[in-house]
Amino acid sequence: MNLPRNEHPRPQFIRNEWLNLNGEWTFRFDPGKSGSEAGWQNSNGFERKIIVPFCPESRLSGVAHTDFIECLWYHRKIRIPGNWNGKKVLLHFGGVDYRCEVFLNGQSAGRHTGGVSPFCLDLSGRALPGNEYDLTVKVIDEQRSHLQAFGKQSPWLKSQRCSYTRTTGIWQTVWLEGVSGSGLKQCRITPDFDNGAFSFTPRYFGVERGNTLHVRILDEGRVTAETVTAAADGIPFKIKLPHPKAWAPGSPFLYEIEYEVKSADGKTLDRVQSYAGLRKFHIEGDRLFLNNEPVFLRFVLDQGFYPEGIWTAPSDEALRNDIVLSMKAGFNGARLHQKIFEERFHYWADKLGYLTWAEFPDWGMGFWPHFTTEPGNFHQSFRDYYAQWAAIVERDANHPSILAWTPFNETCGAKDPAEHVRFLSDIYDLTKSLDPSRPVNDTSGYVHVKTDLWTVHNYNQSPEELRKQLDAEPVFMNYPDKEKDVYAHQPYLVDEYGGVKYIPEGRSAYADNSWGYGSAPAGMKEALERIRGVTEAIVRHSRIAGYCYTQLTDVEQEQNGVYCYDRTPKFDGETVRSIFSEKPDWSPF
């Protein structure tokens, strides 16, 4: 069989020596959570088969089990390439929901907590080149505990309201990598648009005296700038470009980056390929600027669900196609909603010139009652959150297409209002410390505590009434009694609106509980008139800096997308494009 999702999972950090572990694994459900006691970590294969990296709830996995799965085990054999002698053997997981322990020949090789953050285990000394091993993974996913963030995964047996089919276990690519002990661990690239330069901050697995890092920046295959510097861990340096080229929508130019670590005697220890875009996104007063030009954000809500793969795109081309469909509809970007998108999506956004906001799937933390009734031990969920969010910011900070960070969505009904203020403020500060170059939208919609952006959610279906609400002084607030002291003339954005339900003629409802915002329009003409009306009310508002329309595609029972769940069109394409292409005269993008 063809290897599913066989493209490199980290397009900004590619080594030649890697081995994709996707494909057929064996697995076993463990409803009693007694597998450890029964010795399943010593397994050399289970009875049933599953296709990784697709979750067992998905049809692409070959399992399609959609009831709650609180524990399951995976197994496959791995062979370490014989030419990896002298190298570190790294085992990477793009995402495993939610807690897992990894075993090699029955011995624990490491644990990880968090359903959306990547992790890497060093198997050096345990996995020797040329040998074969039994790799076993135990997964715990106690979604109904109210202690773990799960985003839009349904906390009920049936998908309903804004919640959809769950994702359990391995849902992103698993791979092995052979790396020098003195190789690069990561390298932060920060664009310095105004000075026409890139700043680099490398991190290494280990540093030896005399080692050097050679960095080459290529413009369409030709070296345009380069430097050699001592291989010093965490010490930044800058490379100035002789003829800077900007990254922007419509002209998303990307520089190729080559890293080479050499020993004191000139031997090459490590090679990594990367890329970067030279762009700047900042705030002046209540306006947003991209490359020092004012920009109006014409965003769409993208939840990243797929009928066959749930949280996992069926192919790399499917990731690209979602961006192409969005741009075809007139949008210049997306708010990536309640999900950490895989790095390949950000790669295509970088390549195509598509703007995004990255958002953490925080729903499920019992501190805020998003479709939950139990308070949970929110301090434990906070503990998990800090580690995951930090890992995600570190993973994605080099992507030029990401303009802002959104740690939370619709945080209301907090169990402890004072703790809500403290926690959101702490996360804002943490995010800024990890990446001071981007604005932070502390919580999309409400309840704001400390934020660079003033985002509101308003699903009023009447253009006239929406306009009046947005005219509120000083701005519209979802919770004015809690937020009035937070507003400080930040850029004002309608971060969710629209959501008009429409099922094309000849198509049936996805489910018996299908829905959209407001009353269903009589037909396509009425639906488009409503979408145009509420969109124009926002675009023509003199103080609004951007919007996010709900949503790009239908997702299961929520049938308010611009496209159907299977990505087929709902509306006349030219009409839709004319609606979402409209922008204020002051925005060149």
pLDDT digits (tens, 9 = 90+) for 502-536: 999 889 999 999 999 999 898 999 999 999 999 99
pLDDT (0 to 100) of residue 199:
98
Give mean pLDDT, residues 172-186. Answer: 97
Structure-token pair, residue 153: 């995964």
Maximum Cα–Cα distance for the chain, whole Å? 75
Phi, psi of 317 (to 5 degrees): -65, -30
The pLDDT-based confidence of 360 (bands split at 50, 70, 90) is very high
How far is Cα 561 from Cα 501, in angstroms, rounded to an integer?
7
Query: With 70 as the cut, is the pLDDT of residue 462 above it?
Result: yes
For helices 343-352 and 316-328, angle between their N-to-C axes, nearest 10 degrees: 40
Which pLDDT tens digit goes with each residue over 364-377? 988 887 766 665 67
Which pLDDT tens digit goes with each residue over 384-438? 999 999 999 999 999 999 999 999 999 998 888 999 999 999 999 999 999 999 9
**H or E stretch including 142?**
none
Beta-bridge partner residues of 48: 27
Which pLDDT tens digit goes with each residue over 250-294? 999 999 999 999 999 999 999 999 999 999 999 999 999 999 999
Structure-token pair, residue 389: 């969010």
Q: How many helices (H) and strands (E) does the chain have?
A: 9, 33
pLDDT (0 to 100) of residue 587:
84
The amino acid at residue 208 is: E
Which pLDDT tens digit goes with each residue over 465-512? 999 999 999 999 999 999 999 999 999 999 999 999 999 988 999 999
Give mean pLDDT, residues 14-18. Answer: 95
Tell me how far CA of residue 88 lies from CA of 27, 85, 177, 290, 583, in angstroms.
28, 9, 8, 41, 52
The pLDDT-based confidence of 379 (bands split at 50, 70, 90) is confident
- Give the residue among 111, 91, 90 at the shortest CA–CA distance from 102: 111
Query: With 70 as the cut, is the pLDDT of residue 315 above it?
Result: yes
Give mean pLDDT, residues 166-187. Answer: 97
pLDDT (0 to 100) of residue 376:
61
Phi, psi of 527 (to 5 degrees): -65, -45
List the chain domain ranges: 18-179
Q: Are 167 and 61 in contact (CB under 8 A)?
A: no
Map residue 27 onto helix, strand or coil: strand
- Give the residue among 415, 438, 440, 414 at the shortest CA–CA distance from 427: 440
How far is Cα 284 from Cα 552, in angstroms, rounded to an integer?
29
Give mean pLDDT, residues 533-541. Answer: 97
Which pLDDT tens digit goes with each residue over 32-43? 999 999 999 999
Tell me how far CA of residue 486 lies from CA of 179, 244, 331, 410, 489, in angstroms.
48, 39, 30, 16, 9
> In this prediction, what percent of the chain has a pLDDT beyond 70?
99
Question: Where is pLDDT greater, at 585 or 451?
Answer: 451
134: left (phi over 0), alpha (psi -120 to 50) or beta: beta
Question: Quick one: three-class SS letters along 354-422?
Answer: CEEEEECCCCCCCCCCCCCCCCCCHHHHHHHHHHHHHHHHHHHCCCCCEEEEECEECCCCCCCHHHHHH
The pLDDT-based confidence of 207 (bands split at 50, 70, 90) is very high
For domain 18-179, the CATH class is mainly beta
The pLDDT-based confidence of 381 (bands split at 50, 70, 90) is confident
Structure-token pair, residue 456: 């509101």
The pLDDT-based confidence of 139 (bands split at 50, 70, 90) is very high
Query: With 80 as the cut, is the pLDDT of residue 552 above it?
Result: yes
For helices 417-434 and 378-396, angle between their N-to-C axes, nearest 10 degrees: 20
Which pLDDT tens digit goes with each residue over 58-94? 999 999 999 999 999 999 999 999 999 999 999 999 9
How far is Cα 394 from Cα 431, in angstroms, rounded to an integer?
10
Query: With 70 as the cut, is the pLDDT of residue 136 above it?
Result: yes
Query: With 80 as the cut, is the pLDDT of residue 105 above it?
Result: yes
The pLDDT-based confidence of 588 (bands split at 50, 70, 90) is confident
pLDDT (0 to 100) of residue 147:
87
> In this prediction, what percent of the chain has a pLDDT beyond 90?
93
Look up tokens 């519209």; give the residue: 476
The pLDDT-based confidence of 1 (bands split at 50, 70, 90) is low
Give mean pLDDT, residues 180-209. Answer: 97
How far is Cα 173 from Cα 92, in angstroms, rounded to an integer?
8
